[in-house]
Chains A and B, each alone.
Chain A
Amino acid sequence: MNNRINTLFSEKKSNILSIYFTAGYPALDDTMTILKNLDTAGVDLAEIGMPFSDPLADGPVIQHSSEQALLNGITIARLFEQLKEMRQHITMPIVLMGYLNPVMRYGVEAFLAKCAEVGVDGIILPDLPMDYYLSHFKTHCEYYNISNIMLISNDTSVERVRQIDEQTNGFIYLVSSNGTTGSNKSLESQQDYYRHIRSLELNNPALIGFGVRDKQTYELTNQYSSGAIIGTAFMKHISEHGIDTDSIQNFVKGIR
């Protein structure tokens, strides 16, 4: 069964720009405004971060936005409320990204059912291990047609990449280099790794993320994948320049 993610990747093979932003930031109910402005600016896919008190895989920028969003009062329930009428305005695929604990507390099946109800197409939970996905998520993900997007890094063995490719659907999140989000590691030095992954001819398309921050890094990663994910650089941008249409359009124009 196809969802909007699969449709996007079957229609567009390259130059896919995905933007991450933290729900509930800068103000609690900014989520839909940001989403609409991203859509207007022509981004292909949006990842909405569900803030967590202890975001292990995130660098300082996303830690800060998560902390502020929680202070603003964001919860998963509130986020779903904000997204209730999303599909009247937005056609691009939407992915929720966060950590396992708040999802467990919400209830795995209830969470996935609600995703389907508001029109979310996929989830990314970096601390959800494969075995737990298979035992606690997979059946529900399939039932509600929600893609579970998994990460690979340059330490992931070929055997495991194949296994992840088997189990994931939508796309593979290729972590640019070992690090937390927003790390400024050189992406140039990782080209052998990107080339290697491309040579495996996986079933799923790949987007490169973590450390993609400007036109140059976006273009570099695009040589090896279907596109890239930008999060930290976007969060920095809206912290400085705001979330209105112009601000968001300027950011996107600066990338492609």
Chain B
Amino acid sequence: MKEFNPNEQGYYGEYGGAFIPEMLYKNVSDLQEKYLEIIQTEDFQQELNQLLKDYVGRPTPLFYSANLSAKYKAKIYLKREDLNHTGAHKINNTIGQVLLAKRLGKKRIIAETGAGQHGVATATTCALLNLECTVFMGAHDIERQKPNVERMRMLGAKVVAAESGSKTLKDATNEAIREWINNPQETYYVIGSVVGPHPYPDMVAKFQSIISKEIKVQLEEQEGTPNPDYVVACVGGGSNAMGAFYHFIDNGHTNLIAVEAAGKGVNTGQTAATIALGKQGIIHGSKTYLIQTEDGQIIEPYSISAGLDYPGIGPAHAYLSDMGKITVGSITDDEAIKAAFELTRIDGIIPALESAHALAYLNKMNLKESDIVVVNLSGRGDKDMITYSKYFNHE
């Protein structure tokens, strides 16, 4: 099986590319030329793997959930990305990119964040590796996600409120890109998902691909086969899904299921189901599906989960979906909440609201008892306690 890569210009089929203003051209093309060479060196891999093991706590467990298995009448495994340092898969990518930034001689890191998980992971990595860090976050999200804002500040990062547009993730990303345009040479932009101009979608996919790499080894040990029948993961931009799918793409066996946030429902106008509703276009430097008006204005999406309300999707997912290589499903707010409570009570794990979308999809699958299903539990639910407690109090 060959590795899943974009072409030299960063295209997956017709998706991807680098749609950036000239002011970023040199910076981005330098990165395009150097990233593979740098991240493939033995020295880089050694430093990365050491940190992932000793600092992040990898490999994360592949947990056979006897309780979920009994309920859904199949073999259900949970890939415990929630047990990573900082509580989600995001740090797999930030460690990789910040190490790369250091090797490129950059002095300063910037990042965008929605719910704050990528911001916290970036601030954490910058504290560890001693780089200055600025995180852009929508002004609305700053209010909604206070604990993560305080974590970032305690870690020494500067948190800048994005006051433009709808004041959420897409605007935080716009502000980060503007900051990058203003300081292109000294600043490295750590993008948090498999989005943005080439090489970001591929680079982030490669840093997150450790998830599926570990699943293969762990499943081989536990089931005697490296390939599950299904891998289920939630998608906003799509980084945890890409990591969980990466080594199973085109293996001729595993069904890969990407679960979008339907919000109140795909056809309610309050949704983040990008592939279900999206039309082709350009967002944050790449060609992909995005939620937009007839006139090509980007629409602010809605989901109860701040990590899934992104109006675009990684170009690789757009391509894989068009090719029929992944199945795209969607889960509403209510279904996700229900699944989060179910896992909490049945297995004693409070999942992130994002990951709860993947869990909820188990209800929609026609499973056989012999089926092996891996659900990527991308993060833990501590950050979502305010949302959960609203439901808890109404129980």
Contacts and interface: CB of A to CB of B under 8 A. Distances in A.
B11 to A, nearest CB: 10
A54 B26 contact: no
A255 interface: no
Nearest to B285: A127
29 contacts: A52-B296, A54-B171, A54-B298, A55-B174, A57-B178, A67-B165, A100-B282, A101-B283, A101-B296, A101-B298, A102-B295, A103-B296, A104-B280, A104-B282, A104-B296, A105-B292, A126-B21, A127-B19, A127-B282, A129-B20, A151-B22, A153-B23, A153-B25, A157-B26, A175-B23, A178-B23, A178-B181, A178-B183, A180-B178
Given A54-B174, A63-B164, A183-B182, A152 B297 contact: no
Interface of B: 9, 17-23, 25-27, 164-165, 170-171, 174, 177-178, 181-185, 279-285, 290, 292, 294-298
Given A101-B282, A127-B285, A155-B26, A53 B298 contact: yes
A132 B14 CA distance: 11
Question: Which label, helix, strand, loop or mixed, suits the secondary structure of the B interface?
Answer: mixed
Interface stretch (A41-49, A69-77, A139-147, A223-231): A69-77
Interface of A: 52-57, 59-60, 63, 67, 70, 75-77, 99-106, 126-129, 131-132, 150-153, 155-157, 160, 175, 178-180, 183
Centre residue among B165, B282, B292, B295 by max chain A CB count within 10 A:
B295
A155 B165 contact: no
B170 to A, nearest CB: 7
B181 A180 contact: yes
Given A70-B297, A77-B295, A101-B281, A155 B185 contact: yes
Nearest to A175: B23
Contact of B281 (A70, A104, A132, A178): A104
Given A53-B298, A54-B283, A178-B182, A156 B170 contact: no
Contact of A52 (B181, B280, B297): B297
A52 B282 CA distance: 12
Given A129-B19, A156-B22, A156-B26, A75 B182 contact: no
Contacts of A104: 280-282, 296
Contacts of A183: 182
B21 A57 contact: yes
B199 to A, nearest CB: 14
A169 B95 CA distance: 44
| Closest CB pairs A-B (n = 10) | A105-B296, A102-B296, A155-B26, A151-B22, A53-B297, A126-B21, A75-B295, A101-B282, A101-B281, A57-B21
